[in-house]
Structure 1
Amino acid sequence: MYGVVLAAGRGTRMRPLTDRRPKPLLPVGDRPLLARVLDAAAAVVDAFVVVTGYRGADIREAIGDSYRGRPVHFVEQADPQGTAHAVGQAAPVVDERFVVLNGDVLVDPSLPRALADAGGTAVAATEVADPRSYGVVSTAPDGTLAGIVEKPADPPTSLANVGCYAFEPDVFEYIDRTPVSDRGEYEITTTLARLLDDGRPVSVASYDGTWLDVGRPWELLTATETVLDTLEETRLEGTVEPNVQVHGPVVVEPGARLRSGTYVDGPAVIRSGADVGPNAYVRGATVVGPDARVGNAVEVKNTVVMRDASVGHQSYVGDSVLGRGVNFGAGTNVANLRHDDASVRLTVKDTRVDTGRRKLGAIVGDGAKTGINTSINAGVRLGVGERTAPGAVVSRDRMNE
């Protein structure tokens, strides 16, 4: 069985974090999101096909030609035209039954297993409290798929389409005959409807595990929280100087250093080459990335600090994402809470969106730098390479368009 993983999208809702990397390569814990998808499917597939597009060379370099002993084939969706179009790119490689997973969704291994065990064509579905924002799955009396309706005002069931499938190779013939939808795309749900019209049975694989679409910046924090919540033990494999306090679960990878006076309250992961302290405070679901620096008297809480980023001394960063090579000058402070206690709003594709998070700090693109004593308001984005002056107060997004 093949595992076809869709990883071609540009990820514009995730800006600025995707301005220099494809969304599936965003780090979640100790590995990229795409690697977690491959991990979830590895037990049920013999080979992977990864559909790339935006910055596909980065994905090929990161994953390589094999993953966990399974060969990896790469096909390109140069001009994305919908999910059916994306799946169709795998046709030159795939010659047996296959599962389809999204490269930017956090799921458990039980999902591809359920699809594999269903046999034939299958769609994964999960119970949700309010299905009106999803594709809603209807079933026939025998439990097979009757249809999928997108975001209905009056949902016929509480089953949401997870967006993961199993197909036989002859689905490519149906994809070739799939018409353009009203949205101007070739959609796999339309292909499924064609299969049903021809009397082809489609199983519904029930799934009740983790299902997290990592499409917007705060959802990367949620994914990190979800993954770190599964840590069960403390592993101190790096250098831990005297007078460091660690309250698990905390992972300190080989080559990382916790300097004297540092206090780490997990769950937290300190990646290889990271340097923390002295006298730093790391807490919450925090990942300090490879070769990153958290300096003297710095507090970092519930934050993703990516590779080579640096937070200068006497700074506070909470509920934030710092991209690769970010440099926060001394005394930089990030607000993560509105004064009215309402949930924080963030701009996504020019629209202000309620994140549903009471606490959310800054989303900072690769290579951005702040001057000393910069203050950044809750829900602010700093674009790739942005700069602030010493003492600046940043209350609105600064993005490179």
Structure 2
Amino acid sequence: MKALILSGGKGTRLRPLTYTGAKQLVPVANKPILWYGIEAIAAAGINEIGIVISPETGEEVKAKTGNGSRFGVKITYILQEEPAGLAHAVKVSQSFLQDSPFVLYLGDNLIRDRLQEFLAKFQQQQLNGLILLHEVKNPSAFGVAKIDDRGRLLQLIEKPKDPQSNLALVGVYFFDRTIHQAIAEIKSSPRGELEITDAIQTLIDRQYNVQAMQLSGWWLDTGKKDDLLEANHIVLDDFLETKIAGNVDSDSQIYGRVEVGKGTQLINCTIRGPAIVGENCHLENCFIGPYSSIANDVTLIDTDIDHSVILSGAKIVNIHQRIVDSLIGQRAQLILASKRPKAIRFMIGDDCKIELMS
């Protein structure tokens, strides 16, 4: 059994942040989104992973993620020259996959369920395909599945105007080698891509055994700012444990579940968890509210932050208004010169400098 994680694409919904970086490396609770998928796959006992990368961000993904040794797996990187669809990504990975069954995992998705249960069903029943589904409130915005009462997949409908179900396709699929022939038979969609849904529908039409299972836990698509903030909120809620490795002075106060990384200094700060502060940060005269994630090497002085994600190397100084619901890029600088309204919201890309004047 192998795994194929897709970590290409242009990340247009997270721009300007993703002009300079891969969307799959944006952190949730101070861990790149991509790494959650790798860890889930490794926990399922799959140790051969191919990661599909793009020319624009592939080197960053390789440099940050490495050869897989930190996860106990072997990673092979596969270049997809252009974003020509999920099925196209599988097609260019065929030399890595060969005839092995595999799990296809979209690198910007997060799921609460463990993969072991789904993998066991796929293997024990010798399925040709297994598709994971999740109930959604707005099925017209997703690919929707129609299934029978035995869980057999009957039809896939992409963004239907009149949905026959509220079961959306999650970005996790299990396939055997028959998917390669199905991909070879399909044509590009009107948007010029080879669609994995078309390949799955081909398997269904050819009477292959393709089934579906529903997730019991949450599913998070992190493609937009608000989605990423919600993912950060949920992951901190579910997984964070108190761990104070940095230096917290006597004037600072910590409430609830909070993690503070080594080399970090807190001077006259208040942190209300769940919240996480990375390594080698300097926080002085700050309030950090719940559901905030602050990455490594961040400087915050005279700043109030709530429900926000601050990426590595950012510097925020003299902000006396609350920063809420914000996503601040790597090495960005934000300086306030005078008083402003009670709350401000930002999405700031990497290496920006913003000074707010009266």
TM-score with structure 2 setting the length: 0.92
SS in 1 for 2:155: strand
Output the CA distance in 1 between the equivalents of 2:298 and 2:166. 44
Of 305, 317, 324, which aligns to 1:318? Answer: 324
Q: Are residues 1:303 and 2:287 paired?
A: no
Cα distance change, pair 320–77 in 1 and its aligned pair in 2 (3 A): same
Output the CA distance in 1 between the equivalents of 2:149 and 2:166. 16
Q: Summarize the alignment of residues 61-72 of structure 1 with structure 2, pairs less than 5 Å apart.
A: 61-67=63-69, 68-72=71-75
Q: Could you tell me whether the CA contact under 8 Å between 1:249 and 1:268 is conserved in 2?
A: yes
Pick the structure with more helix per residue: 2
Unaligned stretches of 5+ residues in structure 1: 338-359, 375-389, 392-401
Of 55, 58, 80, which aligns to 1:56? Answer: 58
Output the CA distance in 1 between the equivalents of 2:340 and 2:118. 43
In structure 1, the partner of 2:105 is 101
Q: Are residues 1:362 and 2:346 paired?
A: yes
Q: Are residues 1:272 and 2:279 paired?
A: yes
Output the CA distance in 2 between the equivalents of 1:126 and 1:370. 40
Q: Summarize the alignment of residues 87-166 of structure 1 with structure 2, pairs less than 5 Å apart.
A: 87-95=90-98, 96-111=100-115, 113-119=117-123, 120=127, 121-166=129-174
Listed one character per residue, the Cα deviations across residues 186-239 of structure 1 (whole Å, up to 9, x for unaligned) are: 101110111112111101122122211111122221111111112453211111
In structure 2, the partner of 1:219 is 227
Listed one character per residue, the Cα deviations across residues 326-350 of structure 1 (whole Å, up to 9, x for unaligned) are: 111244778686xxxxxxxxxxxxx
Output the CA distance in 1 between the equivalents of 2:47 and 2:294. 34
Give how far 1:17 is off. Answer: 0.6
Cα distance change, pair 116–333 in 1 and its aligned pair in 2 (3 A): farther
What is the aligned length? 349
SS in 2 for 1:183: coil
SS in 2 for 1:258: strand
Give how far 1:146 is off. Answer: 0.6
Q: Are residues 1:46 and 2:54 paired?
A: no
Listed one character per residue, the Cα deviations across residues 275-299 of structure 1 (whole Å, up to 9, x for unaligned) are: 111x21111211121110011x321
In structure 2, the partner of 1:2 is 2
Q: Could you tell me whether the CA contact under 8 Å between 1:29 and 1:228 is conserved in 2?
A: yes
SS in 1 for 2:51: strand
Unaligned stretches of 5+ residues in structure 2: none
Output the CA distance in 1 between the equivalents of 2:247 and 2:92. 47
Give how far 1:31 is off. Answer: 1.0
Q: Could you tell me whether the CA contact under 8 Å between 2:109 and 2:171 is conserved in 1?
A: no
Output the CA distance in 2 between the equivalents of 1:50 and 1:332. 47
Q: Could you tell me whether the CA contact under 8 Å between 1:15 and 1:217 is conserved in 2?
A: no
TM-score with structure 1 setting the length: 0.82
Output the CA distance in 1 between the equivalents of 2:11 and 2:340. 25
Q: Could you tell me whether the CA contact under 8 Å between 1:40 and 1:109 is conserved in 2?
A: no
Give how far 1:244 is off. Answer: 1.1
Aligned CA-pair RMSD:
1.9
SS in 1 for 2:187: coil
Give how far 1:313 is off. Answer: 2.4
Q: One-letter code of the match for 2:133?
A: A
Q: Could you tell me whether the CA contact under 8 Å between 1:40 and 1:108 is conserved in 2?
A: no
Q: Summarize the alignment of residues 157-306 of structure 1 with structure 2, pairs less than 5 Å apart.
A: 157-259=165-267, 261-277=268-284, 279-295=285-301, 297-306=302-311
Percent identity between the aligned chains?
A: 29
